[in-house]
Chains A and B, each alone.
Chain A
Amino acid sequence: MSPIVKRKGEKFTLPGKYLLFILTILCTALVLLTFNTKVFSGPLSAVAGYIVVPFEEGISVVGSWLSGRSEELVQIRELLARNEQLKQQVDELTIENTRLQQDRYELTNLRELYSLDAQYDEYEKTGARIIARDSGNWFYSFVINKGASDGIAVDMNVMAGSGLVGRVVDVGPNWAKVKSIIADDSNVSAMVLASADRMIVSGNLKLYASGVIEFEQLVDSDNVVVEGDKVVTSDISDKYLPGILIGYINTINRDANNLTKSGYITPAVDFEHLEEVLVIRQLKQTVPD
């Protein structure tokens, strides 16, 4: 007797292996369809967004409040001891401060030269709160509480403090998914600020623990790039706005081919304790000249 033949008076049931077969085909089709297009992500993310996101927002607010309180208790004792230390440090720093004020005049001139800060201010930014982080342990992406209805669009750059965090890769009505630059499958076209030498910065799961990201394909024929140099997003990237700080060069090695260099970068953003981010509302493709 075939299991799917319907008999009179018997409730129709689909056996497990047929269901498995049907859903496997469905999933494979979905993977192939969504690999290059965004056909289903619209309706699916809308439905999921309205059901899941309000709860995520609530839980993450409660969670951060609780972890904040418990941390405070632990820190009180530590703070008392540190207070003593800091008082001594204040004296030392006052002396140093006078010396540094002399350097400030020079710095102001250099700032004008780079006009980096001014560039950031030109972009219109929106603050957003992180409400959920990746459910697995393989990648580093997160969900923020602003979406298409707040004017967020795919490919918008995300910053925290003064550094680059990543970019928006998917957007729902009230949430957006951000892929960070330290995720294993992320690559950013970058350049050294001082010499405008270009390189590729890529995330690596193996380097999460040591708090660095790697860079490669740096052509530095004049040997001017040194450890501690500022690395910013390059002007030839088609997703990232130019001149956003990524981090500082930590280690630099010559590749075996003797032409390019590679090494590690310390990111400017503390990804471990990220709670709020800034989304730049300007897209690279629409920046006016």
Chain B
Amino acid sequence: MKRGIITALLIFICFLLQCTVFRALAFGGIVPNLLIVLTASFGFMRGEKTGLLIGFFCGLLVDIFFASVIGFYALLYMYIGYMNGKFAAIFYPQDIKLPVALILCSDFLYGIGCYVILFLLRGRFEFTYYLLHIILPEIVYTIAVTLLLYPLILWINTGLERSELRSGKKFV
């Protein structure tokens, strides 16, 4: 219950920051993708199911406010969360390399997904342009933000796990 509320709050705050504050702080019109950081982090910290559920709700929020159809971003974020969940077995909180690498790959996949479905299918073929001007800058900015945001997410998750462990012990 507590976990649910805190996670919902996190999704909510990240979405709000991404489309208001970070829009004002955009470098060359590019905003970092906080929702990908959130989805991927919970994916490899908590497993497939949490990853895909958080991805689904993040995507749904984007769909409602900014997409022309409902369901596309939900699907994209959900699969990214699920794939990150596959790495939960080799995740250790002390290690920062795996999370950064996974978030990098996730954002890259997200960019490719957006390009193929939303641009390539409409006949925009200049992939190298979109790669160099949209996808790569977004990855760089996202990774920079990850270095600040990820420790916070990790800290929240550790705190939650500890409090769940305590309340679990009470009943034994």
**Inter-subunit contact A208/B114 (CB<8 Å):** no
- What residues of chain B lie closer than 8 Å to A206, measured between beta carbons? 126, 129, 133
- What residues of chain B lie closer than 8 Å to A135, measured between beta carbons? 15, 18-19, 31, 33, 35, 62, 65-66
**Inter-subunit contact B20/A138 (CB<8 Å):** no
**Inter-subunit contact A177/B71 (CB<8 Å):** no
Looking at the complex, which of A16-24, A94-102, A149-157 is the stretch in contact with chain B? A16-24
The verdict on A30 contacting B24 (CB below 8 Å), with A52-B12, A52-B15 known, is no
Indicate the member of A23, A27, A133 with the most B CB atoms within 10 Å. A27
**Inter-subunit contact A20/B82 (CB<8 Å):** yes
- What residues of chain B lie closer than 8 Å to A34, measured between beta carbons? 69-71
- What residues of chain B lie closer than 8 Å to A15, measured between beta carbons? 49
CA distance A180 to B143 in the complex (A): 29
B42 at interface by CB-CB < 8 Å: no
Which among A30, A133, A134, A138 is the interface contact of B70 at CB below 8 angstroms? A30
The verdict on A31 contacting B69 (CB below 8 Å), with A59-B16, A60-B20, A184-B124 known, is yes
What's the tally of chain B residues with a CB closer than 8 Å to chain A? 51
Interface residues on A, range: 35 or more
The smallest beta-carbon distance between B139 and chain A, in angstroms, is: 11
**Inter-subunit contact B75/A28 (CB<8 Å):** yes
CB contacts under 8 Å to B, within A184-211, are 184-185, 205-206, 208-209
- What residues of chain B lie closer than 8 Å to A60, measured between beta carbons? 20
The verdict on A56 contacting B19 (CB below 8 Å), with A23-B52, A135-B31, A205-B134 known, is yes
**Inter-subunit contact B72/A31 (CB<8 Å):** yes
The verdict on A27 contacting B71 (CB below 8 Å), with A16-B49, A63-B24, A136-B114 known, is yes
CA distance A27 to B129 in the complex (A): 30
- What residues of chain B lie closer than 8 Å to A63, measured between beta carbons? 20-21, 24
- What residues of chain B lie closer than 8 Å to A208, measured between beta carbons? 29
- What residues of chain B lie closer than 8 Å to A44, measured between beta carbons? 64, 70
The smallest beta-carbon distance between B68 and chain A, in angstroms, is: 7
**Inter-subunit contact B119/A138 (CB<8 Å):** yes
CA distance A64 to B68 in the complex (A): 27
The smallest beta-carbon distance between A197 and chain B, in angstroms, is: 25
A174 at interface by CB-CB < 8 Å: no
The smallest beta-carbon distance between B21 and chain A, in angstroms, is: 6
CB contacts under 8 Å to A, within B23-50, are 23-24, 28-31, 33, 35, 47-49
CA distance A81 to B54 in the complex (A): 53
Which among B28, B49, B119 is the interface contact of A19 at CB below 8 angstroms? B49
CB contacts under 8 Å to B, within A97-155, are 131-139, 141, 143
CA distance A255 to B38 in the complex (A): 47
A contact face: mostly helix, strand, loop, or mixed = helix
CA distance A169 to B35 in the complex (A): 24
- What residues of chain B lie closer than 8 Å to A67, measured between beta carbons? 24
CA distance A23 to B49 in the complex (A): 11
**Inter-subunit contact A20/B78 (CB<8 Å):** yes
**Inter-subunit contact A56/B16 (CB<8 Å):** yes
CB contacts under 8 Å to B, within A13-66, are 14-17, 19-20, 23-24, 26-31, 34-35, 40-41, 44-45, 48, 51-52, 55-56, 59-60, 63-64
Q: Which 5 A-B pairs have the closest CB atoms?
A: A30-B71, A16-B48, A31-B71, A27-B71, A132-B19
* Chain A positions near chain B (C-beta within 8 angstroms): 14-17, 19-20, 23-24, 26-31, 34-35, 40-41, 44-45, 48, 51-52, 55-56, 59-60, 63-64, 67, 131-139, 141, 143, 169, 177, 184-185, 205-206, 208-209
* Chain B positions near chain A (C-beta within 8 angstroms): 12, 15-21, 23-24, 28-31, 33, 35, 47-49, 52-53, 56, 61-62, 64-66, 68-72, 74-75, 78-79, 82, 85, 114-115, 118-119, 122, 124, 126, 129-130, 133-134, 137-138
14 contacts between A and B (CB under 8 A): A28-B75, A30-B71, A31-B72, A35-B69, A41-B64, A41-B70, A132-B19, A132-B65, A135-B18, A136-B114, A138-B118, A143-B65, A184-B124, A206-B126
